[in-house]
């Protein structure tokens, strides 16, 4: 797809189909605003109820997807996708884990929660560019 329609600047997205995940309906608008192109109108758009479906559509050449890099990294590493525009990085809200007091007494649950916290500490933080 990129051989036919190069994608080197945010303005190039006007010639592409943008793939939306309904779980993150404002992601593209937030990214375009941070990229300095808030009024950009894509050639077309496709909407999917989950990011995994939008990602699969991108792998199949149906358009350009925007989403969490960790979820797309396997496709990038396998050469099925590329990340042509590295910036801007859109900050996301944090996550939390919730467990009952009784569950926290379970060593497996406690170990899992510790593993989540360690992963979060080792994840690079995006720059603070809140909208």
- Examine the domain organization and report whether 55 and 31 are in the same domain: yes
Q: Is residue 62 part of a domain?
A: yes
Residue 103 has pLDDT above 80, yes or no: yes
Q: Is the pLDDT of residue 126 over 70?
A: no
Q: For residue 4, what are its two tokens?
A: 């036919």
Compute the distance between CA of residue 67 and CA of residue 109 in angstroms, rounded to an integer: 29
| Block residue for tokens 């077309």 | 44
The pTM of the full predicted model, rounded to 2 decimals, is: 0.72
Task: State which residues form the domain around 29.
Answer: 10-77
Residue 108 lies in a domain: yes
């Amino acid at each position: 797809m990129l051989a036919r329609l190069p994608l080197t600047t945010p303005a190039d997205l006007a010639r592409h189909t943008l793939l939306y995940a309904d779980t993150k309906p404002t992601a593209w608008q937030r990214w375009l605003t941070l990229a300095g192109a808030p009024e950009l109108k894509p050639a077309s758009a496709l909407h999917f109820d989950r990011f995994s479906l939008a990602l699969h559509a991108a792998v199949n050449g149906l358009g350009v997807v925007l989403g969490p890099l960790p979820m797309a990294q396997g496709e990038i590493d396998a050469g099925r996708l590329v990340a042509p525009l590295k910036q801007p990085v859109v900050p996301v809200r944090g996550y939390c884990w919730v467990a009952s007091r009784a569950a926290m007494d379970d060593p497996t649950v406690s170990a899992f929660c510790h593993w989540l916290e360690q992963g979060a500490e080792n994840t690079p933080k995006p720059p603070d560019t809140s909208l």
